[in-house]
Amino acid sequence: MSQKERVLEALMNGEELTAKQISARFKTGNPRAVIQNLRFDGFPVYLNKRTNSKGQTRGFYRLGTASREVIAAGYRALATSV
């Protein structure tokens, strides 16, 4: 199973992962590239930022559902880039 498939499986199981967690757990050199590849494959991966009580902000990747408007905007962008 590839790194991308293992990350996708974790996200599909409802896990929210930081870039550091993806890098450490799945041994990826560039976790952001893995997320980008998942997005290019059509998976709606979102980055939610949270600030803790100490004022530190962290980003958590999660798998979501894309609205029709988002999907339509993606197709429009593809059509104009060809």
Q: Which domain holds residue 19?
A: 3-81
Give the number of domains in the chain: 1
Rg (CA), the chain: 14
**CATH (domain of 13):** 1.10.10
Each residue's pLDDT tens digit, 4-59: 999 999 999 999 999 999 999 999 999 999 999 998 888 889 999 999 999 999 99
Better pLDDT: 12 or 82: 12
| Angle, helix 19-26 to helix 3-12, in steps of 10 degrees | 120
Type of residue at 29: G
Tell me: pLDDT of 64 over 90. no
pTM of the model: 0.76
pLDDT of residue 71: 67
Tell me: pLDDT of 68 over 70. no
